[in-house]
């Protein structure tokens, strides 16, 4: 197997019996990539994720992580390798500490009753990384949206996965939290080689941070590659049916996309 491809998805199809079906999906990422999946609402991004995590049964194709076919693993073995930060986080009145410790669940011995010293260290480390150490004893329900998202990410990090999947981790958050989350993931990605794959709506964040972007439309992967190749106005207009212009971030030089209001776009059409 090619050493470069760490996550290798071949002809993956999955979906709902009488409804949405994903067209064969091919994606390969090398170890330590920062992958982004973009596309309109209802384009199949979340369905693809559900196929990856095993929440939906895949109807065809294969998903290999570091050479291991994911569907051949038990849920527990899979959970040791892949962590998911879901789009909708259940609001439960448990403490942040308890929440994050749940991330150790797949690594526990059968009938392990008490937390070990190692687990406590991993807990502290995850809380430190996500900057929520001071919230350790707070109840999850009392936190702000950003703090809740950070807690969910800390839980996924405590899982010590090889691949972390995030479903729209920055939506509904202010730019402070957006940057905090993206910078944290970038740091872990660069320093620890954690492979990241996220569904993201903000095209400019995707352009700024991702090393690989897949654009999905109507259940089909229409283009993938470097942000430079994917974030072109032609691709974006095709996928989103919206008038945009492309530009660059003046500091980082990364591609950026701007929407254009109807007033201007009409003039531009002529």
Partner 1 sequence: MELQAVKALSIEAGKILFLVTLLIMASALSLCTGEISITPDRVLFYLKESGAMEYQVLHNIRIPRTILAIAIGGSLGLSGVILQGIYRNPLVEPYTLGISGGASLGITFVIVTGLQSAGELTLPLAGFTGALITVFLVYFLSYRREGVSTNRMLLTGVMISFISSSAVMFLMSVTAIENIHGIVFWTMGSLNESNPLMVYGILILSLTGLTLSYLFTAPLNALRLGESSARSLGINTKAVICILFFITSLLTGSSIAVAGVIGFVGLVIPHFARLISGTDYRSLLIISFLSGGVFMLLCDILARTLVFPNELPIGVITGIFGGVTFISLIWIKKRT
Mapping DSSP to helix (H, G, I), strand (E, B) and coil, where does residue 159 land? coil
Q: Tell which one of 72, 92, 183, 259 touches partner 1 (CB under 8 A).
A: 92
Positions 30 through 59 that interact with partner 1 (CB under 8 A): 53-56
Does 137 bind partner 1 (CB under 8 A)? Our answer is no
Residue whose CB is less far from partner 1, 89 or 222? 89
Q: Tell which one of 26, 120, 183, 247 touches partner 1 (CB under 8 A).
A: 120
Residue whose CB is less far from partner 1, 90 or 241? 90
Secondary structure E strands in 111-167: 163-167
255 φ/ψ angles, rounded to the nearest 5 degrees: -65, 145
* Token pair of 137 as six digits: 């004893």
User: How many Cβ atoms from other residues are within 10 Å of residue 69's Cβ?
Assistant: 11
Residue whose CB is less far from partner 1, 100 or 188? 100
User: How many Cβ atoms from other residues are within 10 Å of residue 94's Cβ?
Assistant: 14
Residue whose CB is less far from partner 1, 14 or 216? 14
| CA dist list (Å): 252 to 38, 58, 126, 178 | 21, 39, 29, 17
Q: Least separation, in Å, of the C-beta of 50 and partner 1?
A: 8
Does 126 bind partner 1 (CB under 8 A)? Our answer is no
Contact between residue 107 and residue 160 where contact means Cβ atoms under 8 Å apart: yes
Does 69 bind partner 1 (CB under 8 A)? Our answer is no
Positions 202 through 231 that interact with partner 1 (CB under 8 A): none
**214: DSSP letter:** E
Residue whose CB is less far from partner 1, 92 or 252? 92
What element of type H or E holds 63? strand 58-65
CA 242/CA 245 separation, integer angstroms: 10
Residue whose CB is less far from partner 1, 30 or 68? 68
Q: Least separation, in Å, of the C-beta of 14 and partner 1?
A: 11
Contact pattern for partner 1 over residues 5 through 34, marking x by CB under 8 A? -----------xx-----------------
| CA dist list (Å): 7 to 24, 32, 90 | 16, 10, 28
What is the bridge-based pairing of β-strands 34-39 and 195-199? parallel
Contact set with partner 1 (CB under 8 A): 16-17, 53-56, 74-80, 82-84, 86, 88-90, 92-95, 98-99, 102-103, 105-106, 108, 111-115, 117, 120-121, 155, 159
């Amino acid at each position: 197997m090619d050493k470069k491809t760490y996550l290798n998805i071949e002809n993956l199809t999955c979906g709902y019996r009488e409804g949405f079906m994903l067209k064969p999906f091919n994606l390969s990422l090398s170890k330590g990539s920062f992958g982004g999946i973009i596309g309109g609402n209802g384009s199949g991004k979340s369905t693809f994720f559900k196929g990856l995590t095993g929440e939906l049964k895949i109807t065809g194709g294969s998903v290999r992580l570091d050479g291991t076919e994911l569907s051949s693993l038990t849920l527990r073995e899979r959970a040791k390798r892949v962590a998911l930060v879901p789009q909708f986080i259940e609001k439960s009145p448990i403490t942040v500490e308890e929440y994050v410790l749940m991330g150790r669940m797949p690594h526990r011995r059968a009938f392990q009753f008490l937390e070990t010293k190692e687990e406590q260290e991993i807990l502290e480390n995850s809380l430190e990384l996500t900057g929520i150490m001071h919230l350790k004893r707070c109840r999850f329900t009392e936190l702000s949206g950003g703090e809740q998202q950070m807690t969910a990410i800390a839980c996924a990090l405590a899982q010590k996965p090889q691949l972390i999947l995030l479903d729209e981790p920055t939506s509904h958050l202010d730019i402070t939290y957006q940057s905090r989350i993206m910078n944290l993931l970038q740091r872990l990605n660069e320093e620890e080689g954690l492979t990241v794959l996220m569904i993201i709506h903000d095209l400019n964040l995707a352009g700024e941070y991702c090393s690989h972007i897949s654009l999905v439309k109507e259940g089909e992967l229409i283009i993938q590659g470097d942000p430079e190749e994917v974030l072109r106005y032609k691709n974006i207009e095709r996928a989103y049916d919206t008038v945009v212009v492309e530009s660059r971030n003046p500091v980082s030089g990364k591609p950026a996309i701007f929407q254009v209001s109807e007033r201007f776009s009409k003039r531009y059409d002529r």
